[in-house]
Amino acid sequence: MPKLKRRAVKRFAKVLALLVVIGALFFGVRMLLNGLNIDVLNPQGEVAMKERNLIMFTLLLSLVVVVPVFTMLIVFSLRYNANNIKKARYTPDWDGSRTLETIWWGIPCIIILVLSVVTWQSSHDLDPFKKLDSPVKAIDVQVVSLQWKWLFIYPDQHIASVNLLQIPENTPVNFTLTSDAPMNSFWIPSLGGQVYAMSGMSTKLSLIANSKGDFRGSSSNISGTGFADMNFIARSSSRSDFDDWVKNSKKSSMTLDDVSYGDLVKPGTLDNPRTYLLADNSLYDKIVMKYMAPVIDDSHDSMSRMQMEGM
Ligand SMILES: [Cu+2]
């Protein structure tokens, strides 16, 4: 076989191998995404939808740089390798090109500019403290992370539940969050969010579910032995199902008072969700205040200042 033809065959084999690798990677990633069925990419509420769009937009924008760079990496290594002297032009005196400089400084600058505007806008738009716009009246839920359970207090309905968050669909939910345990992170991937729950502090988060269903809720902050089981069900149902659930919970044989809360707060996991009648509407505030007692002892002055600043 003549030398030239042999080289052409070799190059064809190289390109073919490359295409096979790219194809395998593409299908591998697709299968992985389908198999995992990632909640974040499959939003069930307005907030999660906005977050998903932001992730996808940022991803596509970064591909504007990533795809050409990796294409050039492959093309240059094939074209300018030592065995390919004939094709590659030798230009030892070349030391600059205004066009190329404009491209590789200009495009990243534009991307950073676009990203900063988008990030600024979405940071304000998706501010967890911001209440959602909706003609439907929001419901309030107070969330307390325990070791290793999630307690949900419904102050207006006078009920509480553990490891089950029942909400009506298409209704904004205003959460206030704290912890009576180590720091945890409240996260319902299908609905958005991920906000820290910390003892002695109260944070806020507004979410909405725009469809019915059971969604996975979890703590995304490792907090000890029972952390792996510290999951809850976020159940979005029709308004009438929600009202029925509230009615049934009020008939619960269990009442959440100081004694039963004392049991609940002990480290341990629960096999099944529970519902309680709420005895004390100020329970949430008491839990927050538990960690906010002023330190009067002078020797701990710096400590009390730190606590004040943390408020
Ligand atoms: Cu904090």
State the Cα–Cα distance between residues 287 and 178, nearest whole angstrom: 8
> What distance in angstroms lies between residue 217's CA and the mean position of ligand 1's atoms?
21
Ligand 1 is an ion; its neighbours by CB within 5 Å are 198, 201
CA of 68 to the centre of ligand 1 (A): 43
How far, in Å, from the CA of 306 to the mean position of ligand 1? 11
Residue type at 131 in one-letter notation? K
pLDDT band at 81 (very low <50, low <70, confident <90, very high): confident
pLDDT at residue 152 in the model: 97
In the predicted model, what is the mean pLDDT of residues 128-138?
A: 93
As a whole number, mean pLDDT of residues 130-149 equals 95
**CA-to-CA distance for 262 and 226, rounded, in angstroms?**
18
| pLDDT higher than threshold 60 for residue 171 | yes
Question: Considering the chain, what is the average pLDDT of its residues?
Answer: 89
Distance, CA 102 to ligand 1 centroid (Å)? 45
Q: Across the beta sheet with 159-162, what order do the strands follow?
A: 203-207, 173-179, 139-145, 150-154, 159-162, 274-278, 255-256
Ligand 1 centre to CA of 261 (Å) is 23
Q: Does a cis peptide bond (omega within 30 degrees of 0) precede residue 150?
A: no
In terms of pLDDT, which residue wins out, 138 or 307?
Answer: 138
The per-residue pLDDT for range 30-71, each reduced to its tens digit, is 777 776 678 888 899 999 999 999 999 999 999 998 999 999
Compute, in angstroms, the gap from residue 193 CA to the centroid of ligand 1: 16
Ligand 1 centroid vs 74 CA: distance in angstroms?
Answer: 48
Q: How far is the CA of 198 from the centre of ligand 1 (A)?
A: 5
